Amino acid sequence: MENFIVSARKYRPASFDMVIGQNTITNTLKSAIKNNHLAHAYLFCGPRGVGKTTCARIFAKTINCSNLGENAEACDKCESCLSFNSSRSFNIHELDAASNNKVEDIRSLNDQVRIPPQIGKYSIYIIDEVHMLSSSAFNAFLKTLEEPPSHAIFILATTEKHKIIPTILSRCQIFDFSRIRIEDIVGRMMFVAKSEGIIAEEEALHIIGQKADGAMRDALSIFDQIVSLTGKTITYKDVIENLNVLDYEYYFKTIDGALMGDVSSVLISFNEILEKGFDGHNFISGLNSHLRDLLVCRDEATLPLLETTASVKQRYLKQTARCSVDFLFKALEIGTNCDLTYKGSKNQRLHVELALIRLCRLMSENGSEPEKKKPELKQDKSPVKNSEEEIPLSTSSRIIHSDTKTATSDTESKDPEPGRHTPVFEKPSKIFSIKDVISDDIPDGKTPVEQSEIKVNETEAASKEAFTIEAFEACWPDFVSQLNGEGSRIMSMFKSIKPEIDNEQTIRIHLSNATQKGYLYTEL
């Protein structure tokens, strides 16, 4: 029975061209070899599983190759390459600084550096996890690293560059390795699956790539784990069940329910998620990522930021077409606040549910903002038009509120009495005419509309002669009695109001609270 070799080792790149996602670094290293422009010390730094040690080994093998190709790749046929491939090369030395971090280990390395190579031109020393060296070990390594023998080249690798002392950094050429894109990881796994005769769904490989977080080694390890469970077929369902990943269908369903304002379906979906053993914090974090993906789909310039398959991308485009930008921004604000305050909540389930309820109410809140419409006039009670110039009085009525601070009027108001707020002149939401109550001189045979169209210049003189303070005060109870159909609260409010007349153009009405203001504008 043949021994199983994990994919991360079996399909480890053996040349620069096989390295995934680090084209800039590999091209620079090949150019240095081709032009014979080699430094004595290199520092490879970056996240785990992105190819630091792999590139260091390929670089070491290529330097000593005696028959380089035109593209500066090792031939894999000379003695140096064959000895490296069979792990018996004496010119390439690997040291794990995590377990050899004492000053004695570095002193032994300094003595070993003096020995010239047996085959080839250079002795290469690869020190992995170099940040684990102690301070004394770093100091002991400084002199050798600065002025090594002409045949010695050091390649240091680390995941935590900030832990390396500046004196070491200044003596090295530094190469920063980046995380591998999901597309590159998926492409590499598809190559491995094809080589192994495995049928894999693209969506399943995308989930593995997302879980790997930019590390090729992690992705291949997860790939082997799924293959051990499912055999020669990898499906999306098997991957999310094995990796305990929440199905993105729940995120699409949650946003659909929020757009329809269906609180019940959203809460039921969240309950299903909890019953499957998922954490509410992970769900709200995934929902925020889903909203972010919907937002980047709205613009073609940001569409490349969406890392998913073509079929899922179409679903994102379809759902984002139903979402407004305001909805997405407010939903992200709700989700982010829930994410930040989740751990501090004593009832975490209720905390998430309240956020989902607020999410469902976004559409109704946006749609419930009333448009400001002009008030309809009651011709049977106050036959007037909206235009002040066509009202059959000398001037239009003004209602003055004492609970506001600004004033707008075409006439100067008197100074308010002590203890009262500055009066404000505003148009009422429904215009009524006291003139109709105190005037009995309406021509016969005229309809209310025709009566309201009497010219101002014909009635102005008569109005001035007929209007007196005593007549107005006598007619005020008659006007209040006409409001009998408006409700008991309106009647009670107007009975308690004692209007004051400044002049023929201004009637001052003082309201005691904001409730009366609301009744006056909405009920009348």
Question: What is the predicted pLDDT for the residue at 213?
Answer: 87
Domains within the chain, CATH numbers bracketed: 7-176 (3.40.50.300), 182-243 (1.10.8.60), 260-367 (1.20.272.10), 388-522 (no CATH)
Q: How far apart are CA 179 and CA 181, in angstroms?
A: 6
Q: Please report the pLDDT score of residue 53 as a whole number.
A: 92
Among 32, 246, 24, 221, CA closest to 122:
32
**3-state secondary structure string, 124-179?**
EEEEECHHHCCHHHHHHHHHHHHCCCCCEEEEEEECCHHHCCHHHHCCCEEEECCC
Low-confidence residues of the chain: pLDDT under 50: 1, 368-435, 437-442, 447-457, 459-464, 523-524
- Distance (Å, whole) CA 454 – CA 391: 8
Q: Do 19 and 58 meet the contact criterion of CB atoms below 8 Å apart?
A: yes
**Neighbouring C-beta atoms of residue 466, cutoff 10 Å:** 14
Q: Answer for the pair 193, 81: CB distance below 8 angstroms, yes or no.
A: no
Question: What is the per-residue pLDDT for 227?
Answer: 92
Is the Cβ–Cβ distance between 493 and 400 less than 8 Å? no
Cα gap 354→334, rounded to integer Å: 10
pTM tops 0.85: no
Q: Which residues pair with 508 in a beta bridge?
A: 500
β 233-234/123-128 pair status: unpaired
Name 81's Cβ contacts closer than 8 Å, sequence gap at least 6. 61, 65, 74, 75
Measured CA distances, 489 to 64, 128, 284, 486 (Å): 99, 84, 48, 8
Q: Which long-range contacts (CB under 8 A, 24 or more apart) does 303-311 make?
A: 307/181, 307/182, 307/183, 307/206, 307/210, 308/206, 309/202, 309/203, 309/206, 311/203
Confidence at residue 504, expressed as pLDDT on a 0 to 100 scale: 64
Note the pLDDT of residue 89: 84
Whats the size of the chain, residue-wise? 524
Per-residue model confidence as pLDDT tens digits over 355-375: 999 999 998 776 544 333 334
Which DSSP string do the residues of 447-465 spell out, in sequence order?
A: -HHHHHTS-HHHHHHHHHH
**Exposed/middle/buried for 418, CB within 10 Å: 0-12, 13-18, 19+?**
exposed
> How far is Cα 412 from Cα 72, in angstroms, rounded to an integer?
92
Q: Which residues pair with 152 in a beta bridge?
A: 123
Write out the DSSP string of 191-255: HHHHHHT-EE-HHHHHHHHHHHTT-HHHHHHHHHHHHHHHSSEE-HHHHHHHHTPPPHHHHHHHH
- pLDDT for 308: 85
What does the alpha-carbon distance between residue 191 and residue 225 come to, in Å, rounded to a whole number? Answer: 17
- Tell me which residue of 110, 138, 137 sits closest to 125, measured CA to CA: 110
Q: Do the beta carbons of residue 276 and residue 284 sit within 8 Å?
A: no
What is the bridge-based pairing of β-strands 506-508 and 41-45?
A: unpaired
Tokens found for residue 154: 């050091």
pLDDT for residue 341: 94
Secondary structure (3-state) at 17: helix
- Do the bridges between strand 173-176 and strand 41-45 make them parallel or antiparallel, or are there none, so unpaired? parallel
pLDDT of residue 266: 94
Residue 404 φ then ψ, to 5°? -120, 175
Note whether 508 and 501 are within 8 A (CB): yes
